[in-house]
């Protein structure tokens, strides 16, 4: 797969602490989705992180598919920024469903912990069903990347919704 970016560009020093994310990651086993108000499901996902020399990391795609039916579930794309001179990180995310999220948090070693600070939707997208999102991404010592996403609904506290492990592709 080719991308219309200069992948040989020198990485901007501002995002060097995120170099461990770069490349393509695929779930090596299905992830699990659950929440008190939905039927549990399994899914697969591909992530691609890149840079073009700017002070941001691009995530070209978060492509999720139902593990059994292979039906597409959702797509996300966006950017990761670091506040210069700090470990403060922001994800700016657009989903194919019409949802836009801003999540902010901290980078600690090879671990990102983020919480939504803004959620918006297009006027004709489904009404938002959640009030808050929390995301945790961590590179494990065995080289696997893991992502856990939690949600809070009106009257429902922050509860784990998704969990999936990935392996870097060759």
On whether the CB atoms of residues 104 and 89 are closer than 8 A, the answer is yes
Residue-wise pLDDT for 93-121, tens only, equals 999 889 999 999 999 999 999 999 999 99
Residue-wise pLDDT for 61-76, tens only, equals 778 888 899 888 889 9
Q: State what percent of residues in the chain have pLDDT above 70.
A: 95
Q: Which of 3-7, 83-87, 129-133 has the lowest mean pLDDT?
A: 3-7
**Spatial separation of the C-alpha atoms in residues 123 and 117, rounded to whole Å:** 20
Is residue 13 exposed (0-12), middle (13-18) or buried (19+ Cβ within 10 Å)? exposed
**Band of pLDDT at residue 7, cut at 50, 70 and 90:** low
Average pLDDT, the chain: 90
Q: Does residue 8 have a pLDDT over 80?
A: no
Six-digit token string for 4: 């219309």
Q: Does residue 83 have a pLDDT over 90?
A: yes
Q: Which domains does the chain carry? A: 13-168 (2.40.128.20)
pTM above 0.85, yes or no: yes
């Amino acid at each position: 797969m080719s991308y219309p970016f200069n992948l040989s560009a020198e990485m901007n020093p501002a995002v060097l602490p995120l170099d461990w994310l770069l490349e393509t990651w695929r779930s090596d086993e299905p992830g699990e989705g659950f929440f008190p108000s939905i039927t549990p499901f399994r899914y697969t996902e591909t992530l691609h992180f890149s840079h073009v020399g700017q002070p941001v990391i691009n995530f070209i795609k978060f492509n999720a598919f139902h593990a059994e039916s292979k039906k597409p579930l959702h797509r996300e794309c966006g950017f990761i920024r670091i506040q210069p001179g700090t470990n403060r990180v922001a994800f700016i995310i657009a989903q194919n469903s019409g949802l836009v999220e801003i999540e902010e948090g901290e980078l600690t070693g090879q671990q990102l912990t983020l919480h939504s600070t803004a959620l918006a939707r297009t006027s004709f997208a489904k009404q938002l069903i959640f009030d808050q999102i929390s995301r945790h991404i961590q590179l494990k010592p065995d080289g696997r990347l893991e992502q856990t996403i939690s949600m809070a609904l009106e009257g429902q506290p922050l509860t784990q919704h998704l969990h999936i492990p990935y392996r870097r592709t060759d």
